Amino acid sequence: MISLSHDIIRSDLYMSLLFTRRDVLASIAISIAFVANAPIGASDDAPPNVLFLSIDDLNDWTGCLAGHPQAKTPNIDRLAAGGVLFRNAHCSSPSCNPSRTAVMTGMPCYRSGLYDNRQRMRTVLPDAELIPRYFSRHGYWSAGSGKILHYFIDQNSWDDYFPDRSTENPFPRTLYPENRPVSLPRGGSWQYVETDWGPLDVSDEEFGGDWLVSDWIGKQLRRQHDKPFFLACGIYRPHEPWFVPKKYFDQFPLEEIQLPPGYRADDLDDLPPAGRKRGPNRYFEHILQEDQWKRGVQGYLASIAFADAMVGRVLDALEQGPNADNTIVVLWSDHGWHLGEKQHWQKYTAWRLCSRVPLIIQAPRGVPGLPQGTTAGQICDQPVSLASLYSTLTDIAGLPPKEGSTEPSLVPILKDPESAWPHVAITHLQRPNNYGISGKRYRYIHYDNGDEELYDIQMDPYEWTNLADDPAFAAQKASLRARAPHDFAQFVPADGGTLPALTWHTDIESLPPAIPNDTELEIFFHNKSGQPVEIVRVDADKSRHSYGILETGWFKPYTSRSGQVWLVKSNKNQLMGYFLSGNESAQAVIP
């Protein structure tokens, strides 16, 4: 305790064992109760509401997907029991920014040109209309809380947000250990500072973070609205760092932790050079050297359990409020996560462990695009992409199709999961011409140097055996390769280096008053300090507004005004220095 200052085969087995495993009987009872109280029908004259639940960095370690035998997700499982579970759903990219951009714009990476975490959505897609704004334009009240986009809110896309959308900081206060690292020593400047874990001796409410998000969302679900709503709830865990209240760690005693079932020591032997390069990384090697593998798995499982509890709070609020009978519920994760499989830790790969994500959709009877609603407990194994959520939601809600939309609506397979589905799911890997293609049975991976991988998911769900060079599977490889995009949007790097540089001031005593005028501009912050920092805006009345954490090595633009003062604080809440905005857009390099 810290003092403070997965696959289809396994999933079928899991479902059959639910009735014999004593530790899951409680979740079955909850599932049955939830189904019994599931939305029974939408009003003929009331457009349906949408509850849009996002979970960050969650792979298939859920009960309903059976990715890890010790995962405890009774609330996600009860939602799956009440709706349609997609067991072959894939993200558009194995990193937060491009994946979430694809979901929120309906544009996959090869069309948008946004492939990488370091790009800026509004630089690449200045005019893209996000889902909440589209719904708002069609008579909805669109609101959200928590991380929906990649560390910003995009305030003009929402009618309301918590925290305040004007800050562009989607994170409420969260309690972390004062002295870090706690469990994993820093291996070098290459290590993401948040790669750390441990139990906190606090309540959920004291911890804050996702509890505050679920609290705000719950209040919206419990009240009557004069408009239909599009309500987005961004649960941050199990994103790193894996610090959550101790009671969630207690569910997973360290001596009982099982290592990832998809791990195999010789898993890289049959990979082409590009695959071998993507596999082993310094994180996993460092974690092994520090004897932290089981503790890391424990931290991830505990963080998933915490996230699931927050999902439960939101589902309970919906069920107990006046909107239960007329609300579409969607739950998704932005990408998966490796915990040692293929000698890899983190994300950023095109393998199924990183591309496959939970996706659950539940719709009440009477919604315009799906009058019979979804059938409780249905499972769909067709390959689907998260980029289809935009067209799917507008279709179910009866809104006109978004102009220029090309991603197929999932409504046909929500009606009948066994119906014909002539589509594949494409996952893009950071640059054009790097991608994975998921079919119903086979997966194909293509690297921009021409290297290839092919896997039979039915027989090899963990992708241990690369079939790309096996003549017996040439037809399957050619079939999937033919489904690749023919044209890729150009990669537009995020680079503020051509802008003039602001002066970095470290004499805090000389901090000038902020005298912002009406001239809007952009300040492109670049953190070269070697530690995460907090960016704080100072207004003319001396009030301070946090714009959240900027990780070391990252760069990010913020809307500012001429004469605005920007403070930079260390991860120990100490003032490091400040910048003063000039009369034009500029870069602010934190040394």
**Gap between the Cα atoms of 100 and 333, Å rounded:** 9
Contact 516, 561 (CB under 8 A): yes
Does the annotation mark 90 as catalytic? no
Q: Count the neighbouring beta carbons within 10 Å of the beta carbon of residue 126.
A: 8
| Beta-carbon contacts of residue 504 (< 8 Å; ≥ 6 apart) | 577, 579, 588, 589, 590, 591
H/E run at residue 445: strand 442-446
Query: Is 96 marked active-site?
Result: yes
Q: Positive or negative CA dihedral for 302, 303, 305, 306? A: positive
For the sheet with 575-580, list strands across it: 544-550, 533-538, 565-569, 575-580
Catalytic residue among 64, 68, 90, 96: 96
Task: Give yes or no for a contact between 223 and 136, defined as CB atoms under 8 angstroms apart.
Answer: no
CA distances from 570 to 145, 567, 577 (A): 25, 10, 9
Environment class of residue 290 by beta-carbon count within 10 Å: exposed (0-12), middle (13-18) or buried (19+)? middle
DSSP line for 227-252: S-EEEEEEE-TTSSSEEEEHHHHTTS
Are 570 and 231 a contacting pair, CB within 8 Å?
Answer: no
Nearest to 572 by CA among 249, 176, 304: 176
Largest CA distance in the chain: 73
Q: Which residues pair with 418 in a beta bridge?
A: none
Collect contacts of 79-82 with beta carbons under 8 A, ≥24 apart.
79/34, 79/311, 79/315, 79/329, 79/331, 79/360, 79/362, 80/360, 80/377, 81/31, 81/32, 81/34, 81/35, 81/376, 81/377, 82/31, 82/34, 82/35, 82/38, 82/362, 82/376, 82/377
Which of 126, 130, 102 minimizes the C-alpha distance to 116? 102
Q: Of 150, 423, 428, 526, which is the active-site residue?
A: 150
**Residue 509 CB contacts under 8 Å (≥ 6 apart), including other chains:** none
Nearest to 57 by CA among 214, 239, 227: 239
Strand partners, 556: 525
Active site residues: 96, 150
